[in-house]
Amino acid sequence: MLGGCPAPRDITNNSIQPLPTTTPTPIPWLSLDPVCTGSITRAEWLVCDNPQLNALHRRLAQQWATARQYASDEKYGVLEDQLYALLSERDQCQDVLCVATAYRRYLDGPPPVVRPTPNKPKPKPGKPPKHGHWKPRPGGPSGPGWPPPGRDGDGPSCVATAGSQEALRLARQCARVNPSNGWGCSPQRSCGSLKRNVVKGCNETYRKPEFCPKI
């Protein structure tokens, strides 16, 4: 004691209390596998129980994990805000539709599908107009559809006027002296036409059949 005053005590470092340091709370980023144990909300239980919600959870977790790898500080802050907004919205849900809506709100949509422009169909070539080409029947009069059934240019058929027996007799004689004249020797020709063709054939035939002089 000096002059009636107590001697000063040595001050050690133990008398100075360090200020408490705070450890930042880790950001609860979504993991690929949702937390399904412990004290979880009904929304978290729905994510674990429902395969579709589980798939949405995995998609968003992968999307945010990829985005954080290349995010600037500003973008990182945006992702963090989205995370807390999702957790707040999701954990208030009580049904599957509400939880799915919360996840889809932050999922990036699929890239637009560019559909190829369909080519215009080539016009089909039109059918060529019909010009009325026809082939005349051998030995018959010219013109499409001529002669009409049962008659030729001379009138009704020989069958109709003289009977089938006479018509066939003249037709056979005509065909014998006119072997290449098919329609001209048909019994559907008129009897006059058949007789004229027989006479013509007899005149042009070297060896005349026995019926030629009788015509």
pLDDT at 51: 94
pLDDT at 1: 53
Pairing of strands 155-156, 151-152: antiparallel
| DSSP classification of residue 28 | -
| DSSP classification of residue 2 | B
- Which uninterrupted H or E stretch holds 155? strand 155-156
pLDDT at 194: 84
pLDDT at 142: 46
pLDDT at 129: 65
pLDDT at 59: 94
Check: CB of residue 97 under 8 Å from CB of residue 74: no
pLDDT at 178: 79
Can you give the pTM of this predicted structure?
A: 0.42
pLDDT at 98: 95
pLDDT mean by block of 10 residues, the chain; 215 residues = 58 56 74 89 93 94 91 90 91 94 87 58 70 51 47 73 85 81 79 86 80 67
Classify burial at 161, counting beta carbons within 10 Å of its beta carbon; exposed 0-12, middle 13-18, buried 19 or more: middle
pLDDT at 153: 60
Q: Collapsing DSSP states into helix, strand and coil, what is residue 183?
A: helix
pLDDT at 124: 74
Alpha carbon separation from 184 to 104, 117, 134, 172 (Å, rounded)? 90, 64, 18, 11
